[in-house]
């Protein structure tokens, strides 16, 4: 039996608006609060949680950037000759993404999304390493570097194992009493919300399924650690998309030549432009100023959000749409999806949530990068206590039985 186990359970997209009127884990983790998110997608939010820093500091923001010099995608250009009816298919794209990830030895999350093969060699992918591993940040360190440096034994999920696989792997480490810190990664709610929206009964059911798993996790943990400190948290929420904006067609109608005059990445909620001449810049800026569904982000706003990059690596101009608007088609998808995130952090559905089983969460934990401080403090305390205590192995029949119980199949 060990003393303390800090359990950090990350539920992607389990935003404040999703849980505020739902009894989600109110029994297990009754102390809840709203957290401000970080401007960007999970590609920005997760690294901010894991490092305690803003995108401008860790330089993990949006996936694709215009950077022909460093593009690893040249070998994919021949795919432009294949019919788009084939290469545009989601299933084909998923298979190709897996293949490319393996060939290019990318360690993090990788998806080709809807990037056109015609000019994919003009772009680079900014997350080649996994932020869930030591050395996984583009700049600086993360919690796993910190734990490694201080010799604190920990468990972290591997996304490829899936939610249930990761739960089982964590339970094994807990039963072996070999860790002083755990980070469990559950991404499936995000995918479900994108598909069915934030009002679907499927969301309610998914939250109930999570509770069942969390109850089991806590029961087993309490059989091996006297004080289990549970923190369940998210990176952002999810807004239903009821309005669509075909920005690509509108920008194409300006009679500028993409590739020669400008480059652009259409994310689902923002468009990021690079300009190759003043005429193109002027035309596009003038046009975007009159698009009522969104606005050009000023340098001041970007700076306040920790996303003003002095080298404009992620784009010289950032156009952001209002909550509920979906840019479609985009480089993220050809077809609409029901819900999206990546709006302004002050939009109601952007807010994340933190739920804890202790009322000791400091008042200055107000935004998702603050979770890092909490993780560092808890891991340090657990390690000190667990080290000070003589090791002994105890068998708890109830906990052992729960561990043997078959896993509940994951809901896609
Ligand atoms: Zn998402």
For residue 124, the CA-to-ligand 1 centroid distance in Å is 21
Pairing relation of β-strands 225-233 and 2-11?
Answer: parallel
Ligand 1 centroid – CA 337 distance (Å): 11
Where does the chain hold its CATH 3.30.1360.110 domain(s)?
Answer: 242-336
CA of 267 from ligand 1 middle (Å) equals 12
- CA-nearest of 123, 127, 128 to 264 is 123
Residues carrying CATH 3.40.720.10, the chain: 2-56+134-238+348-404
The phi and psi torsions of 247 (rounded to 5 degrees) equal -70, -35
| Structure confidence at residue 390 (pLDDT) | 63
pLDDT, residue 391, reads: 54
CB 304 within 8 A of CB 38: no
Ligand 1 centroid to Cα of residue 62, in Å, is: 13
Helices (H), 176-304: 188-196, 201-222, 247-252, 278-288, 299-304
Residue-wise DSSP of 36-82? B--SS-HHHHHHHHHHSS-HHHH----SEEE-GGG-S-GGGGGGGGS
Q: What fold does the segment set 242-336 form as a domain?
A: Gyrase A; domain 2 (3.30.1360)
- Counting Cα atoms < 13 Å in the Cβ hemisphere of 319 gives 28
3-state secondary structure of 285: helix
Query: What are residue 303's DSSP bridge partners?
Result: none
Report CA(270)–ligand 1 centroid distance (Å). 14
Tokens for 160, please give them. 């490829």
Q: Is 319 in contact with 273 (CB distance < 8 Å)?
A: yes
Helix or strand run (H / E) with residue 213: helix 201-222
d(CA 317, CA 398): 58
Domain 2-56+134-238+348-404: state its class: alpha beta
372, 140 in Cβ contact below 8 A? no
Contact by Cβ (8 Å): 24, 207: yes
Give residue 338 CA to ligand 1 midpoint distance, Å.
11
Tokens representing 97 are 């993404």
Cα-to-centroid distance, 47 and ligand 1 (Å): 14
* Number of CB atoms found within 10 A of residue 267's CB: 25
> E-strand spans in 288-395?
294-296, 317-321, 325-327, 339-340, 352-356
How far apart are alpha carbons 60 and 75 in whole angstroms? 25
- Calculate how far, in angstroms, residue 393's C-alpha sits from the geometric centre of ligand 1: 41
CA–CA gap between residue 357 and residue 380 (Å, rounded) = 18
Cα(236) to ligand 1 centroid in Å equals 9
Specify the DSSP element, H or E, that contains 33: strand 31-35
Closest Cα partner for 194 from 347, 353, 18, 371?
18
Q: How far is the CA of 39 from the centre of ligand 1 (A)?
A: 13
> Would you say 24 and 186 are in contact if contact means Cβ atoms under 8 Å apart?
no
295 within 8 A of 247, measured Cβ to Cβ: no
pLDDT value of residue 42: 94
Per-residue pLDDT tens listing for the chain (412 residues): 999 999 999 999 999 999 999 999 999 999 999 999 999 999 999 999 999 999 999 999 999 999 999 887 777 777 677 777 766 777 777 877 787 777 777 777 777 777 777 888 888 888 888 999 999 999 999 999 999 999 999 999 999 999 999 999 999 999 999 999 999 999 999 999 999 999 999 999 999 999 999 999 999 999 999 999 999 999 999 999 999 999 999 999 999 999 999 999 999 999 999 999 999 999 999 999 999 999 999 999 999 999 999 999 999 999 999 999 999 998 888 889 999 999 999 999 999 999 999 999 999 999 999 999 999 999 999 999 999 876 554 444 444 444 444 433 333 3
User: Dihedral through CA 50, CA 51, CA 56, CA 62, nearest 10?
Assistant: -20
pLDDT of residue 405: 44
């Amino acid at each position: 039996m060990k003393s303390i186990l800090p359990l950090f359970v990350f539920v992607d997209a389990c935003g404040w608006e999703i849980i505020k009127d739902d009894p989600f884990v109110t029994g297990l983790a009754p102390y809840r609060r709203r957290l401000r998110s970080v401007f960007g997608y999970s590609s920005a939010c997760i690294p901010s949680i894991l490092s305690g820093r803003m995108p401008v500091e860790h330089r993990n923001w949006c996936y694709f950037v215009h950077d022909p010099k460093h593009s690893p995608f040249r070998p994919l250009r021949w795919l432009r000759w294949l019919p788009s009816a084939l290469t545009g298919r989601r299933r084909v794209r998923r298979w190709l993404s897996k293949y490319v990830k393996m060939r290019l030895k990318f360690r993090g999350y990788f998806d080709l999304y809807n990037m056109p093969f015609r000019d994919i060699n003009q772009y680079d992918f900014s997350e080649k390493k996994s932020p869930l591993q030591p050395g996984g940040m583009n700049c600086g360190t993360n919690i796993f570097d910190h734990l490694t440096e201080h010799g604190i034994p920990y468990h972290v999920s591997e996304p490829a194992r899936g939610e249930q696989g990761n739960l089982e792997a964590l339970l094994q480490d807990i039963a072996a009493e070999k860790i002083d810190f755990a980070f469990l990664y559950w991404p499936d709610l995000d995918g479900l919300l994108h598909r069915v929206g934030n009002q679907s009964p499927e969301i309610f059911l998914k939250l109930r399924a999570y509770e069942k798993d969390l109850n089991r996790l806590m029961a087993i943990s309490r059989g091996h650690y006297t004080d289990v400190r549970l923190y369940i948290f998210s990176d952002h929420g999810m807004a239903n998309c009821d309005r669509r904006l075909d920005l690509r067609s509108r920008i194409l109608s300006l009679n500028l030549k993409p590739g020669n005059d400008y480059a652009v990445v259409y994310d689902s909620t923002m468009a990021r432009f690079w300009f190759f001449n003043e005429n193109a810049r002027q035309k596009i800026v003038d046009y975007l100023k009159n698009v009522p569904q969104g606005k050009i982000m000023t340098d001041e706003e970007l700076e306040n959000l920790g996303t003003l990059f002095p080298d404009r690596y992620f784009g010289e101009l950032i156009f952001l749409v209002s909550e509920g608007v979906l840019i479609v088609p985009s480089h993220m998808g050809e077809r609409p999806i029901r819900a999206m995130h990546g709006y302004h952090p002050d939009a109601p559905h952007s807010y994340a949530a933190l739920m804890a089983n202790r009322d000791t969460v400091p008042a200055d934990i107000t935004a998702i990068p603050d979770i890092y401080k909490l993780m560092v403090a808890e891991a340090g305390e657990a390690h000190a206590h667990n080290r000070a205590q003589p090791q002994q192995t105890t068998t708890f029949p109830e906990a052992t039985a729960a561990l043997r119980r078959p896993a509940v199949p994951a809901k896609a």
